[in-house]
Amino acid sequence: MNSPQPDAECLALIARLDSLMLATRSEQHHAEASYAPFLFDRGAFHIFVSALASHTGNLLTHRRAGVLLIEPEADAANPFARRRASFECRVAEVEADSGEYGSVLDSMQQRLGATVALLRSLPDFRLLALTPIHGRYIAGFGQAYDLDTRRFGESAD
């Protein structure tokens, strides 16, 4: 498949998915892999995560994360050539007293369901914004594209 518009294809992949894979680093510099449901809004991946989870501490300590979004296996014609996007992201906590906090969680609840309402009532949950710094989209064999992540805030909100 020819990919003349990798940014648009990547945004379409993001819109189809509800979870992302996270790569974080512990205080001891050990690599940790995990996942989180997300909402892509205002050019950032928003995740609502428990302070009890090790990835949350890693994210808040280092303020950087790797994010992977990948086409579901059931949708892929070839498991070696799944469409995917990877990003290096800057991490910031969205403070509970900001206007963005309620707005993002309302949108997240609408997209991801009633569990978000339950999690909002728990004191250990934190809303984090993972803003892409660099990105790469793989559309298949020999089809790798650097992404203009600055455009994501314009296109996907």
| Residue-level pLDDT at 7 | 87
- pLDDT by residue (tens digit) across 15-71? 999 999 999 999 999 999 999 999 999 899 999 999 999 999 999 999 999 999 999
Q: What is the CATH number of the domain that holds 95?
A: 2.30.110.10
Contact 85, 134 (CB under 8 A): no
Tell me the residue range of the domain where 90 lies. 6-155
Number of domains in the chain: 1
Is 1 within a domain?
no
Is 19 within a domain?
yes
Q: How confident is the model at residue 72 (pLDDT cuts 50, 70, 90)?
A: very high
Is 22 within a domain?
yes
Would the pLDDT of 101 be above 90?
Answer: yes
Is 115 within a domain?
yes
| Residue-level pLDDT at 149 | 85
Residue with tokens 């914004």: 129
- In this prediction the pTM is 0.91
Is 130 within a domain?
yes
Residue 32 has, within 13 A of its CA and on its CB side, a CA count of 19
